[in-house]
């Protein structure tokens, strides 16, 4: 297989930020997925691949005892960027459950030295595909996000960053801009450039416009042919991922050189997390893919 050459930028200054990887990059989507790479091997190969930090991944995949987690990270000279929670935030019962999960994940990530918690809001899927939230549902979701941000900040000293995501409650640039407006810019964002490109939006242009509220980056590339087929055949997110939606970095539609330039101009210094959402890969293949991604993004100017 031919792999892309790293991007060569005109400015050789390395972008300030920590280059991290995540269990997602190894295809780990749930805590106890059959055939997933064992967590010690994930940490070993992340460190060997050049990463300085990792994301927590699904709660229960990495050790949930804070002292054990800190010890295992320290053995490999790794840090922790944060964890994530996905909740049904426009629904009262969903918000109650999300608050419980937020406290659990926030307590662990804060104790392990992380500074962020990534939040996503779910929606439902009907016969015509993803259901966009409107009216009271949108209002309740926004309030749920604001409440989560305030609670996690005040009780755990972490910053909640909201993650727009394919197929979830906030997906497009227009929806993300509406969220920024409705939260008065008080809730920072995790910009996942691959997810953002899925509806045809430009993540670099969005970054330049909204740099002050972007505290966290997820890096992945997107294959436009797989995206177009997924839209035409009404595949859901997981169906598109299984079909190879997220491709080798540098072979898809994301302008990483433009993103580096925009991030430098904004003096961005938050976590930079490499993801891929690989599916059913052998452990050695996942580790090799993660190492190649580190080399690619480091040469492009990410990390520090």
Which has more confidence, 6 or 15? 15
Q: Tell me the three state secondary structure of residue 17.
A: coil
Going by pLDDT thresholds of 50, 70 and 90, the confidence category of residue 283 is confident
- pTM here is 0.92
**Which CATH number fits the domain that encloses residue 79?**
3.20.20.150
Give residue 33's pLDDT. 84
Q: From CA 80, how far away is CA 214, in angstroms rounded?
A: 19
Going by pLDDT thresholds of 50, 70 and 90, the confidence category of residue 6 is very low
**71: burial class by Cβ within 10 Å (0-12, 13-18, 19+)?**
exposed
Number of structural domains found in the chain: 1
Residue 6 lies in a domain: no
Residue 7 lies in a domain: no
Task: Tell me the pLDDT tens digit for each residue of 183-238.
Answer: 999 999 999 999 999 999 999 999 999 999 999 999 999 999 999 999 899 888 88
Which residues is 21 bridged to in the sheet? 54, 274
Give residue 44's pLDDT. 96
Give residue 126's pLDDT. 57
Contact (CB, 8 A) for 57 and 28:
yes
> Is the model's pLDDT at 67 over the cut of 80?
yes
Which residues is 116 bridged to in the sheet? 82, 159
DSSP designation for 123: -
Task: Tell me the pLDDT tens digit for each residue of 144-179.
Answer: 999 999 999 999 999 999 999 999 999 999 999 999
Residue 4 lies in a domain: no
Residue 1 lies in a domain: no
- Mean pLDDT of all residues in 11-15: 44
> Is the model's pLDDT at 16 over the cut of 70?
no
Contact (CB, 8 A) for 164 and 189:
yes
Q: From CA 241, how far away is CA 246, in angstroms rounded?
A: 7
Task: Tell me the pLDDT tens digit for each residue of 18-64.
Answer: 789 999 998 898 898 888 899 999 999 999 999 999 999 999 999 99
Q: Cα torsion for 179, 184, 190, 192, to the nearest 10°?
A: 40
> Is the model's pLDDT at 266 over the cut of 60?
yes
Give residue 100's pLDDT. 97
Residue 180 lies in a domain: yes
Give residue 281's pLDDT. 66
Going by pLDDT thresholds of 50, 70 and 90, the confidence category of residue 12 is very low
Looking only at the bridges linking them, the beta strands covering 125-126 and 129-130 are: antiparallel
Task: Tell me the pLDDT tens digit for each residue of 117-138.
Answer: 999 999 876 555 678 899 999 9
Give the structural domain span for 235.
Answer: 19-300
Give residue 304's pLDDT. 58
């Amino acid at each position: 297989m031919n792999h892309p050459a790293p991007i060569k930028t005109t400015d050789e200054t390395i972008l300030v930020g920590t280059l991290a990887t995540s269990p997602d990059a190894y295809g780990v989507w749930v805590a106890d997925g059959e055939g997933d790479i064992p967590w010690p091997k994930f940490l070993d190969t992340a460190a060997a691949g050049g990463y300085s930090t990792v994301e927590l991944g699904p709660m229960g995949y990495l050790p949930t005892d804070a002292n054990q987690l800190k010890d295992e990270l320290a053995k490999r000279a790794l840090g922790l960027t944060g964890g994530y929670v996905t909740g049904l935030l426009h629904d009262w019962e969903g918000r109650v459950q999300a608050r419980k999960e937020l406290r659990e994940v926030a307590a662990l990530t804060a104790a392990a030295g992380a500074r962020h918690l990534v939040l996503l809001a779910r929606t439902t899927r009907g016969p015509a595909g993803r259901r966009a939230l409107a009216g009271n549902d949108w209002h309740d979701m926004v309030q749920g996000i604001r409440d989560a941000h305030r609670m996690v900040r005040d009780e755990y000293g972490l910053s909640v960053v909201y993650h727009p995501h394919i197929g979830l409650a906030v997906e497009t640039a227009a929806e993300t801009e509406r969220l920024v407006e409705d939260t008065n810019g008080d809730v920072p964002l995790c910009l996942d450039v691959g997810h953002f490109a899925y509806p045809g939006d430009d993540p670099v242009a969005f970054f330049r416009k909204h740099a002050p509220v972007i505290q966290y980056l997820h890096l992945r590339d997107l294959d436009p042919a797989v995206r177009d087929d997924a839209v035409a055949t009404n595949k859901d997110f997981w169906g598109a991922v299984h079909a190879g939606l997220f491709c080798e970095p540098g072979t898809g539609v994301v302008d990483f050189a433009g993103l580096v330039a925009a991030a430098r101009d904004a003096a961005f210094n938050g976590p930079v997390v490499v993801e891929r959402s690989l599916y059913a890969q052998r452990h050695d293949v996942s580790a090799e893919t993660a190492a190649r991604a580190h080399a690619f993004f480091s040469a492009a100017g990410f990390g520090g």
